[in-house]
Amino acid sequence: MRFIFKTKYSQDINIAKHNGDRFWYSLLILIMVALPLVLDDFYLGEISYICILSIAGIGLMILSGYTGLASLGHAAFLGVGAYTHAFLLTNEIPFYASIPIVIIVSFLVGAAIGIPILRLTGMYLAIATLALGFIAEHVFIKWEHFTGGNRGLPVPQPEFLGMSFYDSVFFYYVCLVFLIAAMFAAINILRSPTGRAFVAIRDSEIAAQSLGVNLGLYKALSFAISGAFTGLAGALLAHYIGYLAPDIFNIFLSLTLLLLIVVGGMGSLHGTVFGAIFVGFLPQLIAICRDYLPSSIGSQPGLEPMLFGLILVFFILYEPLGIYGRWMKIKLFFELFPTYKRQTFKKQKVFTKSDRV
Amino acid sequence: MSLFEVKNITVAFGGVKALNDVSFGVDKGEIFTIIGPNGAGKSTLFNVISRIYEPSKGEIYFENQNISKTKPHNISKLGIARTFQNLELFENATVLQNLLLGRHIYKRTNILSEVFFTPSARKQEHEYRLKVEEVIDFLDLQHYRDTLINGLPYGVRKNVELARALCTDPKLLLLDEPSSGLTNEETIDLGFWIKDIQSLLGITIIMIEHDMSFVNKVSDRILALNYGKILASGLPEEIKNNADVKQAYMGE
């Protein structure tokens, strides 16, 4: 077990809490940077996709995992980001200018949608965001001037820093850099007053309000920040796909993002990466499994969504803290060995919640 | 002139009048206790003051300013902090994070400086922490800084909630049943702390409480409510011997 001797307030503020953190995360980044040396293009593409999913996951995690607001239509923001980016690139705006514009546009779209929609809570909010996803899909179909409608929109792959986005190694590095930057941005938001206000809203709106947190403002802000992250992921996704069509941003993509944060672990940024790895490789895994199943089951088209749903239910029932939660338990088991108690993570029953306010 | 004044407050839920024409004033530096049987309207009164409920009639004045139309999230900026009857802590956060939220009203950073965590954001965190540490020392919470609220015993949670309210640097503190669920020793400690909050920090306290021996020990003045109406108000001795109060609690 590690005991940290604290002598400065900065130790609680810093991202890396001790040298072990610094070592392991630096090592991870080094390995990620060195990956193109050992992996071929196919796997680099897959890992780039996982990076993109992680960025989108960070967006949804801030909204659902930290602010406690459900969203079943987050593919809409991926779409907003992707179409805006493709549109800007088509009009010969350079890549380095397009990305900030995408982030600002998705932020504003998030705020504009968030302000009215966040008057709803719980189940009704989930339904409203579900509708948002469908509406966005239709807007992408009908607004042909901007999106090319059902014909689709080819994404230009401009040169950036003298390299082409067709080069999978270069694209991998772009995704990796954006993931690391997004991670730092998210950590910074969460360790500052705004992030704490989000957590406060999640755990008790009434107390947050009595401590001076403007509920409407911070909920809308959370939606906007979430939109900005997801929009950035959408811009990168546009490069990854190469050709945008409205039906990419369907309900299934929204549910994939939801699965990502639930499986990864609600309320942890680590969880977004774990979850992205999981949902990134899952279709591959299912495709492999299909070959070994009897053809009556293996050739069913609905197999994938069904398994997604099943996994979601199993995680909510048996491991609500997701993969990251499981990892924490394993870590604690070895730290406390042999005195680990299963009860440590057992959620206490609270009886006093019936009579709130 | 009173620091805090409630004038003719009436709160009606449909036909039920939870509060009926209630008026009283609290002077600066006082410990003012509100007592009354269940359903007397005590918590309703607190929720009206912190603007969670809308009064049907009447006004509330704090430092001669009418706060009956103030937004709920601006109440704490004026210097009114409160605790809740059944604890409203941020359960999946550490004690430290809970207390730091108490400093939220002093936030100067905007979202951009937070995304990049500029030196000014860091400086602000240090300032928050300084005040939080003062409160931690005041209420003996040193052991629990990094513990999640989930894992704390009830008595400590109550303390954390009091600490969180103190972190806002209030002028007026509303305590909703501070001693409920505490052991005898904890109640005695709480009594000392409340006296200290009054004398050392100079904070005016309005408190809802049922434990009469505790009430008589710490309060300067008492207001007794029943069925939304004021039964009596005055010094602890007067209330103890008041016939109406006796009847409300013990019957004929």
Q: Which of B50, B125, B151 sits opposite A210 (nearest CB)?
A: B50
Interchain contact, A188 vs B109, CB within 8 Å: no
Q: Which of A192, A204, A209 sits opposite B117 (nearest CB)?
A: A192
Interchain contact, B101 vs A206, CB within 8 Å: no
**Chain A residues whose beta carbon lies within 8 Å of the beta carbon of residue B92:** 199, 202-203, 267
What pLDDT is recorded for position A62? 95
pLDDT band at residue A154 using 50, 70 and 90 as cut-offs: confident
**Pairing relation of β-strands B31-35 and B204-208?**
parallel
CA gap A186, B250 in Å, rounded: 58
In this prediction, residues A332-353 reach a mean pLDDT of: 68
**Residue of chain B whose Cα is closest to the Cα of A350:** B150
Whether the Cβ atoms of residue B109 and residue B126 lie closer than 8 Å to each other? no
Q: Which of B73, B129, B130 sits opposite A214 (nearest CB)?
A: B73
Q: Where in the sequence is the domain holding A129, given as residue range(s)?
A: 33-251
For residue A325, give how far its alpha carbon lies from the nearest alpha carbon of chain B (Å). 13
Superfamily of segment(s) B1-79+172-252:
P-loop containing nucleotide triphosphate hydrolases (3.40.50.300)
Start-end ranges of CATH 3.40.50.300 in chain B? 1-79+172-252
pLDDT band at residue A345 using 50, 70 and 90 as cut-offs: low
Q: Which residue has the higher pLDDT, A355 or A305?
A: A305
**Residue of chain B whose Cα is closest to the Cα of A225:** B111
pLDDT band at residue A54 using 50, 70 and 90 as cut-offs: very high
* A207 at B interface, C-beta within 8 A: yes
Interchain contact, A212 vs B50, CB within 8 Å: no
Q: What is the tally of structural domains in chain A?
A: 1
In this prediction, residues A105-118 reach a mean pLDDT of: 92
Choose, out of A192, A217, A324, A345, the residue to mutate when testing the contact with B (most B CBs < 10 Å). A192
Task: Name the residue with tokens 């938001």.
Answer: A189
**Residue of chain A whose Cα is closest to the Cα of B112:** A189
Interchain contact, A207 vs B72, CB within 8 Å: no
Q: Which residue has the higher pLDDT, A82 or A298?
A: A82
Q: Among residues A216, A70, A221, A248, which one has the least CA distance to residue A152?
A: A248
CA gap A121, A92 in Å, rounded: 42
Interchain contact, B90 vs A210, CB within 8 Å: no
CA gap A174, A191 in Å, rounded: 26
* A348 at B interface, C-beta within 8 A: yes
The pLDDT mean for chain A works out to 87
The enclosing H or E element of B43 equals helix B42-49
Write out chain B's pLDDT in tens, 252 residues.
688 999 999 998 888 888 988 999 999 999 999 998 888 888 899 999 988 888 988 999 999 899 988 999 999 999 999 999 888 898 888 999 999 999 999 988 888 888 899 999 999 999 999 999 999 999 999 999 888 888 888 889 999 999 999 999 999 999 999 998 889 999 999 999 999 999 999 999 999 998 888 999 999 999 999 888 888 888 988 888 888 888 888 776
Question: What's chain B's Rg over C-alpha atoms?
Answer: 19
CA gap B13, A74 in Å, rounded: 39
- Residue by residue, DSSP assigns A215-274 as HHHHHHHHHHHHHHHHHHHHHHHHHHHSEE-GGGGSHHHHHHHHHHHHHH-TT-HHHHHH
Tens digit of pLDDT for each residue in A248-271? 898 889 998 999 999 998 888 999
Interchain contact, A203 vs B93, CB within 8 Å: yes
Q: Which of A197, A203, A210 sits opposite B92 (nearest CB)?
A: A203
